[in-house]
Chains A and B, each alone.
Chain A
Amino acid sequence: MRRERTGWLPGHAVAVFAFLYLPIVTLIVYSFNGQGVGGFPPRNLTLDWYRALFADDAIWDSVFNSLRVALAAVAIALAFGVAAALALDRANFPGKALFRRLVLLPLILPGIITGLSLLMLFREAQTKLSLWTVMLGHGTALISVATTEVFAGLEKLDRAQEEASLDLGANYWQTFWRITLPNLRLSILGAALLIFTLSMDEIAVSFFLIGRDNTLPLEIWGRLRRGITPEINAISTVMFVFSLIAIVTWYRLRAGGEGQPEIAGELLE
């Protein structure tokens, strides 16, 4: 290819990245600010907000609740998402096209619709709202993530291994546990990480399905409405660091396969 002029594109790229990252940087900087969440320049740098955070029981309760919800969501979404990916890959049944769209719908549908429709289901079934209903909501909405990730893994799977296993006398169950699942482990691990992180951050569905115990995002939400202190910046910074660790791990897992992963590209096919 010819050598092209670079022109304005690099400048544009820098500007877009600045737009994407400045808020995050600001948030982190002001978590060390002695003088509240705004005010330029930041003054009296301090770790007080982190100290306040670590002494804040309500926050830690909500972190613990969020962890429980996220683990349950991973379990539900993986159990049904892996099966759904296998079903889409290798079974034919009436309504398959509809099923595929339905499974993927919560990814693109605004969370409020998924949240409200489940709220109505729980009301009709006279189920009391609690962390359980949130787990169910997250798990169901995130089946979509497990299905996309595992389906992408199945496309790269070498079918000959499964055939060989079956030919050599292993039954389906053995073949599944010894060949199919181990070959999909990177996709499954990647999906689990993605589901976990998305569930930890989820707020739109939780907003409608929560009982008395708050998840972390809802606890933060409640505080935002009561007036804000840099303690919220501090907890946000901690969440950012954990998200960063999760994403670097996920990226390594997926790039360990080949090329760059596509989070969104597969969804609208």
Chain B
Amino acid sequence: MFSRAYKAAITVPPLAWVGVFLLAPYALMFCYSFWSVSSSQQIVHSWTFENYRELLHVGVYLETLFRSMWIAVRVMLFSLVLGYPLAYYLSFRARKRKDLLYQLVIIPLWVSYLVRAYAWKTILGSDGVLNTLLQYAHLTKHPLEFLLYSPFAVVLTLTHIYTPFAILPIYASLEHIPRHLVEASQDLGASPLETFWRVILPLSIPGVLAGATFAFVLSLGDFLAPLLLGGPSGIMISNIVVSLFGAAYNWPLGAAISFCMLLLVVGLLFLSESLEKKWSFR
């Protein structure tokens, strides 16, 4: 129904823009990861595997990567544990309050990331709200130091930020479950627990996968929460990248790490997508 000219008019501009400002930069990142820095701080445009070799052989990079992944795994698990029952409650039990509660889930998504990370900083600090509250209530004598500038603070803050990201896709997949399947299961004598375990949970797996991917990937690449709340022991892989692009001035090595992250993320997206296909019942 549409002419060639029309199709060209809607296709060419976004294709060109995305090619220049998304595809080319990612490709450039790939190229950079094979370049190097000369002693006079110039980027040398000749090809070498040196950055990837350094990545594998200098302990701190892999160590930090694994530490970041461990933080991201914890954030993902906590988001699911907090998010799944809430999504279930919203979808199956909330009835009239559903709309209001749904809005309450998305409001924090719109509140500035920075504002929320900062809020946790004011709560967790040694003279922060929580510590002074504990002392005020005579529960502790001295401020608890582990609260701020620790991996704990990073995991807590990132869980706070990414839990709504986990709730939304889970809720969407629960909403798509035909209610007659649930009724059929109950009519055939399954207990509520069996119905949940054998009907609802399997059908909501695609949403769980999507939510888990969001929480994991977004927290893996975070560098602001660790800078603000992490302290020396809460440093994540992106912080290393930031310093390589800043004071440490080794863009090619930074690009190599970033490119590995990019591959990891894209790989996870494909994995989660193919698992979702496997689990979806249509």
* A→B interface (CB under 8 Å): 1-2, 4-6, 9-10, 12-13, 16-17, 19-24, 26-27, 30, 37-41, 79-81, 83-84, 86-87, 90-91, 93, 99, 102-103, 105-106, 108-114, 116-121, 124, 136, 140, 143, 162-163, 166, 172, 197, 200-201, 203-204, 207-208, 217, 220-221, 224, 228, 232-233, 236, 239-240, 243-244, 246-248, 251, 255, 260, 262-265, 267-268
Q: Contact between A20 and B221 (Cβ–Cβ < 8 Å)?
A: no
Q: Which of A41, A80, A112, A232 contacts B18 (CB 8 A)?
A: A80
A232 CA to B112 CA, complexed, in Å:
13
Q: Which of B26, B160, B223, B265 contacts A19 (CB 8 A)?
A: B160
Q: Contact between A108 and B18 (Cβ–Cβ < 8 Å)?
A: no
Q: Contact between B118 and A220 (Cβ–Cβ < 8 Å)?
A: yes
B226-249 contact mask (Cβ, 8 Å, vs A): 1 or 0: 001000000000100110010000
Q: Does B11 contact A (CB under 8 A)?
A: yes
Tell me whether A109 and B112 are in contact in the complex, defined as CB-CB below 8 angstroms, given that A26-B129, A220-B118 are known contacts: no
Q: Contact between A260 and B86 (Cβ–Cβ < 8 Å)?
A: no
Tell me whether A268 and B169 are in contact in the complex, defined as CB-CB below 8 angstroms, given that A26-B123, A80-B17, A109-B265 are known contacts: yes
Among B50-58, B59-67, B179-187, B197-205, which stretch is in contact with chain A? B179-187
Q: Does B102 contact A (CB under 8 A)?
A: yes
Q: Which of A12, A110, A172, A264 contacts B265 (CB 8 A)?
A: A110
Q: Contact between A87 and B107 (Cβ–Cβ < 8 Å)?
A: no
Q: Which of A17, A110, A267 contacts B238 (CB 8 A)?
A: A110
Q: Does B69 contact A (CB under 8 A)?
A: no
Q: Which residue of A lies closest to B222 (CB)?
A: A110
Tell me whether A41 and B7 are in contact in the complex, defined as CB-CB below 8 angstroms, given that A30-B129, A117-B29, A203-B224 are known contacts: no
A253 CA to B217 CA, complexed, in Å:
30
A210 CA to B266 CA, complexed, in Å:
27
Enumerate 10 A-B pairs (CB-CB under 8 Å) in ascending A order: A1-B179, A9-B93, A12-B85, A23-B116, A87-B14, A116-B255, A201-B114, A224-B118, A233-B122, A248-B103
Interface size on B, residues (CB 8 A): 106
Q: Which residues of A contact B272 (CB under 8 A)?
A: 268
Q: Contact between A264 and B169 (Cβ–Cβ < 8 Å)?
A: yes
A248 CA to B103 CA, complexed, in Å:
8
Q: Contact between A12 and B255 (Cβ–Cβ < 8 Å)?
A: no
Q: Does B37 contact A (CB under 8 A)?
A: no
* B→A interface (CB under 8 Å): 1-3, 5-7, 9-11, 13-15, 17-18, 21-26, 28-29, 32, 82-83, 85-86, 88-90, 93, 99, 101-116, 118-123, 125, 127-129, 131-133, 136, 160, 163-165, 168-169, 172-173, 175, 179, 182-183, 186, 192, 207, 209-211, 213-214, 217-218, 220-224, 228, 238, 241-242, 245, 251, 254-255, 258, 261-262, 265-266, 269, 272-273, 276
Q: Contact between B110 and A80 (Cβ–Cβ < 8 Å)?
A: no
Q: Which of B86, B120, B224, B254 contacts A116 (CB 8 A)?
A: B254
Q: Which residues of B contact A10 (CB under 8 A)?
A: 89, 93
Tell me whether A24 and B251 are in contact in the complex, defined as CB-CB below 8 angstroms, given that A110-B220, A117-B25, A244-B107 are known contacts: no
Q: Contact between A16 and B261 (Cβ–Cβ < 8 Å)?
A: no
- A5-B192, A38-B125, A260-B99 known; 20 new pairs, CB 8 Å cut-off, are A1-B186, A6-B93, A9-B93, A16-B86, A22-B123, A24-B108, A24-B116, A24-B119, A38-B122, A38-B131, A99-B18, A106-B22, A109-B221, A112-B258, A118-B25, A217-B112, A236-B112, A236-B115, A240-B112, A267-B210
Q: Which residues of B contact A81 (CB under 8 A)?
A: 14
Q: Contact between A84 and B14 (Cβ–Cβ < 8 Å)?
A: yes
